[in-house]
Amino acid sequence: QLQLQESGPGQLKPSETLSLFCTVSGGSISSSSYYWGWIRQPPGKGLEWIGSIYYTGGTYYNPSLKSRVTISVDTSKNQFSLRLSSVTAADTAVYYCAAIYGSGSWEGYYFDYWGQGTLVTVSS
């Protein structure tokens, strides 16, 4: 059973860069069955997909965030990461990392395991 744990600063000032890490345990991040994703949830609001990455480094981003987002993978550490630049108060949210399981076309993939989430607050 996979376990995912987010880590990183919980407080940022406007214009700074958010950096979060997700450490995967209980399985290999190099598994061919999984993509790895970041999702966020502003307080009291719904889920927003940020982006996904495969262990080989291929990335897919939410078009609305693409200009500010970078997702990377470090297979040696069984870890993937999120960088979001030029943050504002609107980026205040709980950030989740998740394992996306499937095979074949995207249609068959689903978010199988989720981290506990980490609250990131952007405030001056």
Partner 1 sequence: SYELTQPPSLSVSPGQTASITCSGDKLGDKYVCWYQQRPGQSPVLVICQDYKRPSGIRERFSGSNSGNTATLTISGTQAMDEADYYCQAWDSSTVVFGGGTKLTVL
Beta carbon nearer to partner 1, 17 or 25: 25
Give the amino acid at 63: P
User: Which of 5, 7, 62, 78 lies at the binding interface for partner 1 (CB under 8 A)?
Assistant: 62
Smallest distance, Å, CB 81 to partner 1? 18
Distance in angstroms (rounded) separating the CA atoms of residues 30 and 38? 17
Q: Which stretch binds partner 1 (CB under 8 A): 16-24, 57-65, 68-76, 84-92?
A: 57-65
Q: Residue 90, SS3?
A: helix
Q: Six-digit token pair at 122?
A: 């952007």
Q: Does 33 bind partner 1 (CB under 8 A)?
A: no
Q: Does 54 bind partner 1 (CB under 8 A)?
A: no
Q: Which stretch binds partner 1 (CB under 8 A): 24-32, 70-78, 84-92, 102-110?
A: 102-110
Are 55 and 30 within 8 A, CB to CB?
A: yes
Q: Residue 89, SS3?
A: helix
Q: Does 47 bind partner 1 (CB under 8 A)?
A: yes
Distance in angstroms (rounded) separating the CA atoms of residues 120 and 3? 21
Which of 63, 53, 39 shows the shortest CA–CA distance to 115? 39
Binding positions for partner 1, rule: CB under 8 A: 37, 39, 46-49, 52, 60, 62-63, 96, 106-112, 114-117
